[in-house]
Amino acid sequence: MRTRGIRQAPLLIALLALSATLAAAADLPLLTWEGQTMGCTYIVKIVDAPLSPTQVEALKTEVDQRLKEVNRQMSHYQPDSDLSRFNLAPAKVPFKVTPEFARVVRQALELNRLSGGAFDPTLGPVIDLWGFGSQTDSHLVPSEAGLRKAMQKTGCQHLSVTVDNELVKDIPELRLNPSSLVKGFGSDEMARVLRAHGLTNLYVAISGDVFASGHNPKGRKWQVGISAPLLKWVPGDPVAAVVSLSGQAVSTSGDNEKFFMDAEGRRRGHIFNPRTGQPVEHNLASVSVVADSCMASSSLATTLFVLGPEDGSRFIESRTNAAALFIVREPDGNMRRIPSSRFAAMTGYQP
């Protein structure tokens, strides 16, 4: 048997090489482009699309215009956006917004309720105070008095949405900052625009909020890498996991990208505990969520990061259409991966 195996090895190698050559030759055409939105890069990939150059340019323009409209409504950086104007509006005066803006806020308020306050889109004053908002890039640990004052301006109990798609706040200082939903919503909208043109094999992303549909150029589900929670991760650095997606979204939240070091050498990240107004501090390095939309995966990833690995695991198990991969820092510096019960089934994940 040993001799037989040796004789067959060259044939097996040749067949594998031929298979690899045929697979490479059989790759379906891939159209891809990038652009800028919401302070970061967006990516579009479309497989096997019989589009003329004129149609491609028209599609690029339509996607770009749609993202500009999302920004016009919900950007907290644009001073003339609907969001910015609402933040400056008086209390108890209904502020009319688009149905989609109202839907984003309703989802935020519902997630706030379900998570016991772990997700809170009204932390704008706190985020600005720590230097992670739109008003300044100066990162400083605020005084206790300053933080208490900022916290008095927050709370979802002060915000409501009427049946006529009007936002109402009952304190004038309340400021929305639903950025963790808006980027996901933008990715979902890119996919919606493409699907409206009959394009089904696609990959779209704004920063780390990815939605993939149909198949990749190999004719298989899209393979998406989840970056390892290294400080200032850049392309080419290790990935923590690879997931297979089709008709699904994935988003990751962590403390390794946006942070500053305080005077005591503690890392202060941009994700805050709504109960304290302090940056989240626990042994969870990152959490990645797979769901049926980017708006869901992005907001859930933020929520789970605030909750931490134990409470976050319990919360995600209550959501039958989503799953998560928690990456926990061990005392010895190693990283431990903890998938939720449905994560492997939904993504093909293998440890």
Q: What are residue 207's phi and psi, to 5 degrees?
A: 55, -120
Whole-number mean pLDDT of the chain? 87
169-227 pLDDT per residue, tens: 999 999 998 888 999 999 999 999 999 999 999 999 998 899 999 999 999 999 999 98
| Confidence (pLDDT) at 22 | 36
pLDDT(111) > 80:
yes
Q: At what angle do helices 53-74 and 179-196 cross, to 10 degrees?
A: 150
The reply to whether the predicted model has a pTM over 0.85 is yes
Structure-token pair, residue 31: 């159209």
The answer, yes or no, to whether residue 37 has pLDDT greater than 50, is yes
The string of pLDDT tens digits covering residues 128-160 is 887 887 665 677 888 899 999 999 999 999 999
What is the band of 334 on the pLDDT scale with cuts at 50, 70, 90?
Answer: confident
pLDDT of residue 23: 42
Q: How confident is the model at residue 230 (pLDDT cuts 50, 70, 90)?
A: low
Give residue limits of the domains in the chain.
30-73+180-347, 81-169
Q: Tell me which DSSP letter residue 194 carries.
A: H
Please write the tens of the pLDDT for every residue from 169-185. Answer: 999 999 998 888 999 99
Please, how many CA atoms are within 13 Å of residue 194, restricted to the half-sphere of its CB? 30
Say whether pLDDT at 5 is over 60: no
Collapsing DSSP to helix, strand or coil, 339 comes out as strand
DSSP 276: T
Give the type of residue at 253.
S
> Which pair of tokens denotes residue 336?
């431990």
Tell me the C-alpha distance between 274 and 135, whole Å: 20
pLDDT in tens, 78-94: 999 999 999 999 999 99
Give one DSSP letter per residue of 56-113, joined into a string: HHHHHHHHHHHHHHHHHHH-SS-TTSHHHHHHHSPTTS-EE--HHHHHHHHHHHHHHH
CATH architecture of 30-73+180-347: Roll (3.10)
Over residues 285-297, mean pLDDT: 96
Q: If you write DSSP's letter for every residue of 277-313 in order, what string do you get? A: SSBP-SSEEEEEEEESSHHHHHHHHHHHHHHHHHHHH
Question: pLDDT band for position 9 (50/70/90)?
Answer: very low
Instruction: State the maximum Cα–Cα separation within the chain, in Å, rounded to a whole number.
Output: 86
Q: What count of Cα atoms within 13 Å lies in the side-chain half-sphere of residue 211?
A: 26
pLDDT tops 80 at residue 295: yes
More confident call, 7 vs 327: 327
CATH topology of domain 81-169: T-fold (1.10.3980)
Give the separation between CA 198 and CA 192, rounded to whole angstroms: 10
- Strand-pair partners of 335: 329
**pLDDT number for residue 333:** 77
